[in-house]
Structure 1
Amino acid sequence: MAAIKPGRPGGRHRRPAERQATYGEVLAIGEFRALWAGQALSLLGDQLSRVALSVLVFERTESPLATASVYALTYLPPIVGGPLLSGLADHYARRRIMIVCDVLRALLVALMAIPGTSFTALCVLVFCVVLLSAPFSAARAALLPELLEGDRYVAGSALQNMTNQAAQMLGFAIGGALIMGMGPYRALALDAATFMASALILVSGVRRRPAPARSGSGRPSMWKMTRAGARLVFGDPRLRTLVLFAWLCGFYVLPEGIATPYAAVLTDDPQRVSFVTGLLMGSIPTGTVVGAFLFSRYVSPSGRLRSMGWMAMLTCAPLILCALRPPLAVVLVLWFVSGVGGAYQLAANAAFVRCVPAERRGQAFGLVQSGLLAAQGLGILIGGAAADEFGPEPVVALAGAAGLLVAATLAMLWTDSRKEIIERVRAEAPA
């Protein structure tokens, strides 16, 4: 009879398989269901209001610049206010912050729905509504790890990510048809109702929790909170690498910003440009939904962390082939594959949560989210300017090449710092 080597259980030659959480487990948690349902409802309303605002402003001004300016206001407030306001989620009860933000946004959007509201007032109201999304998102992101532990957090994040993408596609798809039927003012009123419904869901579905415990006395100023959050995030090499992984999206979301000029290159029929634009803009989010499902369902927790580097490279590598000027069908496949690679953000998000103290998560998530929006907005802005000069196809390819170089560098940095986090994941896995 063969001898059994000491230190290894008989008949076992590998570590026990890591248990993966299922979507059913996550949805069985009532508080998460409330958080998820409220988010889905308000996201649909947001997409509807974006279409309504574009139509309303263009009807009033007949100015593409004015219409684009109002849309740009959805990027500016989180970039400016995110680092300053997100720290509120670390000093006040997170449930209360979300409810207050939802109620205030409902009131502000209701004012936008009043016929005759001036263009200047609309801009101010839009700015304030989007500004309130910063503390709301920070509070929700900080609360989620308290509701979902271990791999359930990844499954819940994947579900929320898929919901975000689906709401984006569905909201834009049905927004135009709804506005044709009800008009932009009623559409804005419907958006106000979704915010109020989200607040009611949070009131009834999420239990009260005390404000996060913090050391020291008194409440520091917003500026001090922002500086402390920046030191936390950028002073830790692991967190710094994970943040840069998140901001990599500035390269691979650039194609969405120039989808219309890209569509104009792919078709000679002006009437088909809007249809092709819709296909292009939907391809990356569709890939993200598929990638998030496969990545969270079939890859082990530690496997996700190990594969982050090459998955990040996958988001950018297919875009380089756009330099060959392929036909529409091939472009759709390339952009879809890029979206699939974006599922690495789930692993980066989960690793970030494990490295940030619970009482500092609000500020940390707010800083990352602000940088994320800045990277997206700046990438689209630079891409649009470059596409005017060189055309959309080489610009997308160049963004892919630059992103691949950055992703490869981050992958090497991550290889050196991921071991501790992987060991922590294995230690947390049930026996």
Structure 2
Amino acid sequence: MAATKSGRLPGRHRRPAERQATYGEVIALGEFRALWLGQGLSLLGDQLSRVALSVLVFERTDSPLATASVYALTYLPPIIGGPLLAGLADRYARRRIMIACDLLRALLVALMAIPGTSFPVLCALVFCVVLLSAPFSAARAALLPELLEGDRYVAGSALQNMTNQGAQMLGFAAGGALIMAMGPYRALALDAVTFLLSALIIVFGVRRRPAPAQADGGRPSMWMMTRAGARLVFGDRRLRTLVLIAWLCGFYVLPEGIATPYAAALTGGDDAQRISLVTGLLMGAMPTGTVVGAFLFSRYVSPSGRLRMMGWMAMLTCAPLVLCALRPPLTVVLVLWFLSGVGGAYQLAANAAFVQCVPAEQRGQAFGLVQSGLLASQGLGILVGGAAADHLGPELVVALAGAAGLTVAAALAALWRRCRREVIERVRAEAPL
């Protein structure tokens, strides 16, 4: 068959290049703006309270293990109740679930802000607050694909991710200074107010929708829904690989849990105010990198290109941490942790691929299982890291976490390469032209 002057064979047409959805398209949707703003407010308060708890416990105990244990309480509750509670997002109206969770969390955090609250009661309240984040996050994650279709979902997820990381960055970086100015109890009271504001924004900004329709028309028990969700997620090779890649964060989030003892090691451990300042800088380095990575990844990489780069980006999250074994100065540590955060943008691609493979009526349970595993992997990693830092020192523990995570990430990247073709074709088919 003869070729034309342009060198193309007649009768063959190239598929138009994929076009990424713009942030403007997503922000124009009022319901998305409500979810976006409410989540950012509550996260900002959460990060402030985490810094307060971390610094307070380290000042009282001078123990990396005790500090990491309390920090881990903000991640571990989903191991116990997360998978069961996440199913509420597929059983009841998702808007109602989010409002109820925000109001309950506001009440519990307000109790934490009462001066003189005993340490065991404070830990119990922290546990309950984080436990309620499972159904809230599952409902929000399941609702988002209904508001945003195709690559708009990735753009919206990127905006939320950048906002969430920006809230973490601001809360961590300014947390030390604010704690010195207002005290830990007032910081907790401010966290309670952010939950109330989030509930109000959802009430007035998100319209009512009925509960998700079940395939059999009935309302199965929570246990049956949990089992069905587990079979769906872990019975599919693509979903199983995506979930394991997402749970890789247990390795590269570990440094945040021992940021205070790491700051003490960098500063000599004599000046409490300087330790608080350096702790905030360290905790803010990774979220800052994730904001930059999410913007570049979502704005300048095509939908299918994100899926191809996902394995390499996952390895980038852990590789820089290995260099902490050399005990570099603060400036270099901040750069290394920043680069690790840039790699964390791969979660956008994993999230989008996951949505492609999960039926709409099971999204709440599926997202809940993934979110519970995310928090649990981070909490366990931080807890193990804190215990190891007592004996090995924080620098070596961070380096070992990076080396272990890099090994696991490389293996998962190879698995993803074998099963990504179908997902890429589906993303290409739905991408705006």
Checking the alignment, whether the CA contact within 8 Å between 1:284 and 1:336 is kept in structure 2 is yes
Question: Structure 1 residues 116, 384: CA separation in 2 closer, same or farther (over 3 Å shift)?
Answer: closer
Aligned pair 1:391/2:396, yes or no?
Answer: no
Match of 1:8 in 2: 12
Alpha-carbon offset, residue 228 of structure 1: 1.3
The residue type equivalent to 2:136 in the other structure is F
1:340-391 CA distance string (max 9 Å, x none):
1111110001100111111111111111111111211221222223333333
Checking the alignment, whether the CA contact within 8 Å between 2:307 and 2:349 is kept in structure 1 is yes
Counterparts of 1:67 and 1:181, CA distance in 2: 22
Counterparts of 1:169 and 1:148, CA distance in 2: 26
Alpha-carbon offset, residue 185 of structure 1: 4.1
Q: Secondary structure at the match of 2:95?
A: helix
Aligned pair 1:288/2:296, yes or no?
Answer: no
Counterparts of 1:395 and 1:57, CA distance in 2: 20
Checking the alignment, whether the CA contact within 8 Å between 2:172 and 2:280 is kept in structure 1 is no
Counterparts of 1:120 and 1:201, CA distance in 2: 33
Match of 1:158 in 2: 158
Counterparts of 1:197 and 1:15, CA distance in 2: 46
The residue type equivalent to 2:401 in the other structure is A
Counterparts of 2:103 and 2:212, CA distance in 1: 22
Q: Which runs of 5+ in 2 are unaligned?
A: none
Checking the alignment, whether the CA contact within 8 Å between 1:19 and 1:430 is kept in structure 2 is yes
Aligned pair 1:381/2:366, yes or no?
Answer: no
* Identity value in percent: 84
Counterparts of 1:182 and 1:261, CA distance in 2: 23
Counterparts of 2:207 and 2:158, CA distance in 1: 23
Q: Secondary structure at the match of 1:6?
A: coil
Which of 347, 350, 353 aligns to 1:351? It is 353
Checking the alignment, whether the CA contact within 8 Å between 1:79 and 1:370 is kept in structure 2 is yes
Match of 2:307 in 1: 305
Match of 1:238 in 2: 238
Alpha-carbon offset, residue 314 of structure 1: 1.3
Alpha-carbon offset, residue 243 of structure 1: 0.3
Match of 1:416 in 2: 418
Match of 2:340 in 1: 338
Question: Structure 1 residues 175, 330: CA separation in 2 closer, same or farther (over 3 Å shift)?
Answer: closer
Counterparts of 1:100 and 1:358, CA distance in 2: 22
Counterparts of 2:81 and 2:183, CA distance in 1: 31
413-422 vs 73-82, which moves further: 73-82
Alpha-carbon offset, residue 255 of structure 1: 2.3
329-338 vs 142-151, which moves further: 329-338
Checking the alignment, whether the CA contact within 8 Å between 2:26 and 2:152 is kept in structure 1 is yes
Aligned pair 1:23/2:23, yes or no?
Answer: yes
Q: Secondary structure at the match of 2:432?
A: coil
Match of 1:89 in 2: 89
Match of 1:48 in 2: 48
Match of 1:105 in 2: 105
Match of 2:363 in 1: 361
Checking the alignment, whether the CA contact within 8 Å between 1:57 and 1:119 is kept in structure 2 is no
Checking the alignment, whether the CA contact within 8 Å between 1:286 and 1:339 is kept in structure 2 is yes
Checking the alignment, whether the CA contact within 8 Å between 1:55 and 1:184 is kept in structure 2 is no
1:168-226 CA distance string (max 9 Å, x none):
12223334444554444444333222222211111111111111111225422222221
Counterparts of 1:408 and 1:176, CA distance in 2: 36
The residue type equivalent to 2:34 in the other structure is A
1:229-263 CA distance string (max 9 Å, x none):
11110000000000010011111122222334434
TM-score scaled by length of structure 1: 0.90
1:153-174 CA distance string (max 9 Å, x none):
1111111111111111222333
171-180 vs 240-249, which moves further: 171-180
The residue type equivalent to 2:25 in the other structure is E
The residue type equivalent to 2:232 in the other structure is L
Aligned pair 1:316/2:284, yes or no?
Answer: no
Question: Which fold has the larger relative contact order, with Cα–Cα distance below 8 Å and residues 6 or more apart in sequence?
Answer: 2
Match of 1:36 in 2: 36
Alpha-carbon offset, residue 113 of structure 1: 3.6
Alpha-carbon offset, residue 123 of structure 1: 3.6
Alpha-carbon offset, residue 266 of structure 1: 3.8
1:308-345 CA distance string (max 9 Å, x none):
11111111222223334434333322222111111111
Counterparts of 1:287 and 1:121, CA distance in 2: 35
Counterparts of 1:318 and 1:67, CA distance in 2: 24
Question: Structure 1 residues 397, 49: CA separation in 2 closer, same or farther (over 3 Å shift)?
Answer: closer
Match of 2:373 in 1: 371
Counterparts of 1:50 and 1:153, CA distance in 2: 30
1:295-316 CA distance string (max 9 Å, x none):
0110011100011111111112
The residue type equivalent to 2:354 in the other structure is F
Counterparts of 2:182 and 2:275, CA distance in 1: 26
Q: Secondary structure at the match of 2:87?
A: helix
Alpha-carbon offset, residue 107 of structure 1: 2.5
Checking the alignment, whether the CA contact within 8 Å between 1:70 and 1:123 is kept in structure 2 is yes
Alpha-carbon offset, residue 71 of structure 1: 4.0
Q: Aligned runs of 1:166-245 on 2, under 5 Å?
A: 166-245=166-245
Question: Structure 1 residues 116, 391: CA separation in 2 closer, same or farther (over 3 Å shift)?
Answer: closer
The residue type equivalent to 1:82 in the other structure is G
Checking the alignment, whether the CA contact within 8 Å between 1:251 and 1:316 is kept in structure 2 is yes
Match of 1:404 in 2: 406
Question: Structure 1 residues 114, 31: CA separation in 2 closer, same or farther (over 3 Å shift)?
Answer: same
Alpha-carbon offset, residue 41 of structure 1: 1.2
Match of 1:262 in 2: 262
Checking the alignment, whether the CA contact within 8 Å between 2:321 and 2:337 is kept in structure 1 is yes
Match of 2:78 in 1: 78
Q: Secondary structure at the match of 1:270?
A: coil
Question: Structure 1 residues 409, 5: CA separation in 2 closer, same or farther (over 3 Å shift)?
Answer: same
Alpha-carbon offset, residue 20 of structure 1: 0.6
The residue type equivalent to 1:296 in the other structure is S
Counterparts of 1:184 and 1:319, CA distance in 2: 31
Alpha-carbon offset, residue 64 of structure 1: 6.0
